[in-house]
Amino acid sequence: MGSTWSGVGGGSTPAHLDLDSPHLLDDMCERPVEYWCLIPPDELHRVLSRIDPEVRCARVIPCALHTLAGGDGTGPWPAARPPHPPHAVAAQGIFDTVDAALLRAAGQPRAALRHAAQIADAPLSAATSLFDNTHGWRPYLALQRGVTTLLAGDFGDAALHLGRATFWRSPRHLGNIERDAHAKLALLHAFVGDAGVAPWHLRAVAATPPSQSWSEPEVAATARLAHLALDDSRGGAPDGTESVGDDDDVFTSSLREMWPFALWLQARLLLQQRRSEDASALLDHVERAAPPGIAGDGIAASIIPATRTLIWRQRNEFALAHAALDRADPECDLTLLARAHLTLAGGGYTEAADLSRRLAARTRDLRRMHLAAIGIGAAAALRRGDTGGASEALRPLIGDGRPFTPAEAAWLPRDALALAHGLLVAASPEAASESSSGGRRSTPAQPALTPGERQMLALLASPMTRQEIASELYLSINTIKTRIHRLYRRLGVDSRADAVSYGRRTGLLS
């Protein structure tokens, strides 16, 4: 969070935020998120710097905003911190919030998580999920915790907290919070999750009007990167992608903290094309450029070592692969996945199985990474001669009858994939046929839907809008969105039209 975050999404400062008001500090205490999100940090820092330091630092929120806008972690965040003003909506967790933000800005998101975890989660009731009376503070906290967790490389927890940020109904002029949460969820699913879920979040980004926030360029760049990664995930293998645009300086600079995902995408293209020397040169170039966080922890510190590990593993240079991976953050999910693959390839089947169980527990809601984790465990059992144990490990992937797309299948070791296909044949010949045909549904399997899911599918087949469905079922529109999203995942589709078409072809709809 730094003073380099200039550039406003919508232009000038909103009229209701009067930077010349004699009550400026009081207004900031009442609406801190609006001042932070809608005024460029450079401008915010300049305005607050004009105020007498003793006056400013006697108020916790103006002091915090001044520190955040300073951006490099060396701002005037006093050792003797001011007391919380009783009327401030942002009093809860403000110290931990600022400390976490400064650590993240210094490239240490994993260290920042220790502070973010201290921020109490506000109860998410049906009413407060629709009407946030904190002027955006609660959704902002959820978003920041989600982004911090994402950058730390704890992908499963990131999905949880980013999803929570999308449930709050922020004020319209703070739509950047919801847009950012959806964009980063799309990015997460496009890279390691469910390719059928990512488009839903991208549509949510498009459906929410841009705000005047200076963060909007990053939201747009993150959504674009998610689009590119999604195209790759539909293309058939986790090692292939199209270019993210090396010469597009506006795009790459707008990504800011998300740069490791752009590098991930570029490296996968080169490795798919068997251009490992070019991939190594790309990694060398990025290391020399020393982007933010590369010497810290989390995904920024892990993406280059994990990619080098893959290159060395492909060359059967296991000692060099281990040496490269030792430089990564050991707690990052990407590191765990790379280490599990490397250990499996090196014959450490017991350790690989342990790593796979750990990773599977952390990534239950991220389909492709979860598939990879379970597949590694099954492959370890197979290579020990334990076919029964391998079959048991794979059963969670077979139980819902959902076939693997080609991109998903590429995340499983080949022997585990062959066994999984055999289990699919036994459980559902139609699903296995669909999986082996690249996702084409000539005779699709009929998943077992709950009565509520069947009702929702029938309502989707009607002319009713989502709001009308919510009124019919006496539920909030957010609950309806969540249930529709889960139904799409169950059916393996990503749109209403596809869900209805699938239902009619399988007999789920008459």
215-254 per-position pLDDT tens digit: 999 999 999 999 988 876 654 333 333 344 444 444 457 8
Q: What is the pLDDT of residue 224?
A: 92
The CA-based diameter of the chain, rounded to the nearest angstrom, is: 76
Taking the C-alpha atoms of residue 483 and residue 453, their distance in angstroms, rounded to an integer, is 8
Question: Residue 113 — φ and ψ, nearest 5°?
Answer: -60, -30
Asked if 322 and 303 count as a contact pair (C-beta separation under 8 A), the reply is: no
Question: Residue 116 — φ and ψ, nearest 5°?
Answer: -60, -35
Q: What is the pLDDT of residue 356?
A: 95
Asked if 477 and 467 count as a contact pair (C-beta separation under 8 A), the reply is: yes
Radius of gyration of the chain (CA): 24
Asked if 229 and 222 count as a contact pair (C-beta separation under 8 A), the reply is: no
Angle between helices 216-235 and 259-272 (to 10 degrees): 20
Taking the C-alpha atoms of residue 147 and residue 30, their distance in angstroms, rounded to an integer, is 24
pLDDT lower than 70: segments of the chain: 1-15, 71-93, 119-135, 169-170, 232-252, 399-401, 427-448, 510
Of 326, 374, 385, 319, residue with least CA distance to 352: 374
Q: Taking the C-alpha atoms of 229, 232, 234 and 240 in order, what is their torsion angle to the nearest 10 degrees?
A: -140
Residue 168 one-letter amino acid: W
